[in-house]
Amino acid sequence: MRSFINPFLAVILAGLLAACSSTPTEEDTSSTDTMGQNTQTTPTTPVERPKPSKPETSSIPLTAENFHNHPSNYDGTTDTRVIYFAFDSNTVPAAAFETLRAHAKYLKENPNAKLRLEGHADERGTREYNVALSERRSEAVQKFLRVQGVSSSQIETVAYGEEKPAAFGHTEMDWAKNRRVVLNYTAGRP
Amino acid sequence: MMRIINVRSVARAAAVMALTMLALGARAELMIQITEGRVDAVPIAVVPFAGAADAPENISDIVRADLHRSGQFKTLEPGDMLSRPTSADQLSFRDFRVLNQEYVVVGSMQKTDSGAYEVRYGLYDVAREKQLITESYRPPASQLRDVAHAISDRIYEELTGIQGAFSTKILYVTFNRGAENPYQLQYADADGARVRTIVRSREPVMSPSWSPDGSKIAYVSFEKDGLPKIYVHDLASAQRRVVAQYKGINGAPAWSPDGQRLAVTLSKGGNPDIYSLDLNSGALEQLTDHYGIDTEPRWMPDGEHLVFTSSRSGGPQIYELDVNSKSTRRVSFEGAYNARPDVTPDGRYLVYVHRRNGSFNVGVQDLQRGTFDIVTKTDMDESPSVAPNGSMIIYGTQYRGTGVLQAVSIDGRVKVELPSKEGEVREPAWSPFL
């Protein structure tokens, strides 16, 4: 589906999804509710919600293909500081929605906090083009946070392309770890 | 213009020449080896110059290595020579004819009382027993390498009709993981010797570009606050200034042929577009305005057109822009990924990165004939940069998981490796004639 959607439309859709808190598709197993509007994935505990924690993920093998959307990468709190992206994509993964909402909540409650969104690409392709691709990723995260009501004055973006890899190997999994946006608090770190 | 190359050598020469390691000075970080040469490379004997072994730089060794590295010549090892004349009167053409040599270079270098060196040499046509060049130089010891490269240039031009590019420099970025300043911007002679460091940084440095007169460079550095700025840096004085520090991307500087403007990529307007920055006035003119990615501009030699990478049709493709009318037209049509163009000095060929079956290679598009050819066999190629004489393309690629530089001739027939002793080397930019 990715390839047919205008990236901007995709970002808007992602934002709408987030705003409406509808249940994300794909292999997302995490609870998605922060606004009390959607259905629980575990209907037996409608009132006493568990604290956001790492979901049960052992049943889902971690692969380079699902890495960006794998629940084990996102704990739903501001402790998660890295959002991963699929190959050639700047769509915010559904599994990261709850984490980003937690950051949005924190930023709104702490107007002095400032967040730098550092976009990165994997090493494939040319360097300046990758800078541009990585900027689209940091902007996608920025738009998500803005839709949540975060002030633009609290967010800045920077695009590093492939220049600052997190993983230095050359496998699909290394590339999956490098296609990312790092949430770097430059002030008011939670 | 191109000399008709003697076909006698075809049968003798192997397609893949022996790996000849060229040991460089202690400061050098680049080594150079030919991995693939022309089957019709011209045999030439550069006889060790008298006094060369005792001088601080061995001129005859440097000239021999230069000619060998060009891939246009097959050089004779001194150990295989029947005689080693050092002046015209000692030269017996027969000794080189029986070894099927077409040309021979003899010479000498002597220290004078003033400390300078007296360098004399001659180039001779073996079959016609004729002197083609004789020259002398008086360089100080510090300029012996320059004289060696100047001799190589002269010989190369005499025998190929093409201006030699041995006296040029290569600018490149190195990365040493774990070092205090992992990112460094350096330049070296075209043979990898005499490395100079321009910038050391904890944050990325990228996209180096030469001014057309070779006196200045532009590059992107994230050294201040981790944010990208474009710097213009004067090599002689080491003075530099920031010329672009807008919100968002400040990237991909490319000097105009007249040296007055930089084409740059800025995303201050909301997405990456190409702008022309007047270096005298600081005035900025937006050249592209599209919601897709526009980046990696290079000026065509006429100074009125740019080629650049754009995602306006989906994936990255090469487009040409008329700077005056701002009209664009797509240039690349082969495959789904074509990016980071460079152009030959005559404007005839575009070289750029092409993805095919998941592999990134350097391709050459002949704008006259409309043909497109992949000229590399490596993978993960990037940042192709054309020599000022249009003969070779230097580019970054990976070898055993590390970034290295390689060079390939425009026709793909000559391949040269430049392995690094330590760390990654990438983003080579070949200087103009200096």
Whether residue A139 is predicted with pLDDT greater than 80 in this model: the reply is yes
Distance from CA of B397 to the nearest CA of A (A): 11
Rg of chain B taking only CA atoms, in angstroms: 23
CA distances from B262 to B230, B240, B259, B324 (A): 10, 15, 8, 15
Strand ranges in A17-57 using DSSP code E only, listed in sequence order: none
Strand ranges in B367-401 using DSSP code E only, listed in sequence order: 372-374, 382-386, 392-399
- Chain B hits for A160, Cβ within 8 Å: 204, 222
CATH no. of A2-29+63-187: 3.30.1330.60
Question: What per-residue confidence (pLDDT) applies to A88?
Answer: 87
Domains along the sequence of chain B with CATH: 8-160 (3.40.50.10070), 170-430 (2.120.10.30)
Instruction: Provide the residue ranges of all domains of chain A, joining segments of one domain with +.
Output: 2-29+63-187
The torsion angle over the Cα atoms of residues A160, A165, A171 and A177, rounded to 10 degrees, is -90
Q: Please name the amino acid found at residue A26.
A: E
What H or E segment, with its residue span, contains residue B109? Answer: strand B103-111
Distance from CA of B262 to the nearest CA of A (A): 16
Nearest chain A residue to B401 by CA: give it. A170
Q: At what angle do helices A127-147 and A97-109 cross, to 10 degrees?
A: 70
State pLDDT tens for residues B301-323. Answer: 999 999 999 999 999 999 999 99
Q: Could A129 and B380 be called an inter-chain contact, meaning their C-beta atoms sit closer than 8 Å?
A: no
What H or E segment, with its residue span, contains residue A109? Answer: helix A97-109
End-to-end CA distance of chain B: 23
Question: What per-residue confidence (pLDDT) applies to B30?
Answer: 57
Grouping H, G, I as helix, E, B as strand and the rest as coil, residue A139 is helix
State pLDDT tens for residues B216-272. Answer: 999 999 999 999 999 999 999 999 999 999 999 999 999 999 999 999 999 999 999
Of B60-64, B121-125, B130-134, B415-419, where does mean pLDDT reach its minimum? B415-419
Q: Could B267 and A132 be called an inter-chain contact, meaning their C-beta atoms sit closer than 8 Å?
A: yes
To test the contact with chain A by mutation, choose from B183, B225, B245, B249 the residue with the greatest count of A C-beta atoms within 10 A, namely: B249
Q: Identify the residue whose tokens are 């043909």.
A: B371
State pLDDT tens for residues A51-69. Answer: 555 555 557 899 999 999 9
Partner residue facing B267 (CB), from A125, A135, A164: A135
Q: Identify the residue whose tokens are 């049968």.
A: B11
State pLDDT tens for residues A38-53. Answer: 434 444 444 555 555 5
Q: Could A135 and B272 be called an inter-chain contact, meaning their C-beta atoms sit closer than 8 Å?
A: yes
Nearest chain A residue to B358 by CA: give it. A124
Distance from CA of B300 to the nearest CA of A (A): 19
Q: Could B427 and A127 be called an inter-chain contact, meaning their C-beta atoms sit closer than 8 Å?
A: yes
Q: Could B353 and A131 be called an inter-chain contact, meaning their C-beta atoms sit closer than 8 Å?
A: no
Largest alpha-carbon pair distance within chain B?
Answer: 72
Q: Could B353 and A163 be called an inter-chain contact, meaning their C-beta atoms sit closer than 8 Å?
A: no
pTM of the model: 0.86
Question: What per-residue confidence (pLDDT) applies to A60?
Answer: 86
Q: Could B355 and A8 be called an inter-chain contact, meaning their C-beta atoms sit closer than 8 Å?
A: no
B34 close to B16: Cβ distance less than 8 angstroms: no
- Chain A hits for B204, Cβ within 8 Å: 160, 163-164
Distance of alpha carbon B374 from the chain centroid: 19
Q: Could A125 and B204 be called an inter-chain contact, meaning their C-beta atoms sit closer than 8 Å?
A: no
Q: Could A129 and B340 be called an inter-chain contact, meaning their C-beta atoms sit closer than 8 Å?
A: yes
State pLDDT tens for residues B389-412. Answer: 999 999 999 988 889 999 999 999
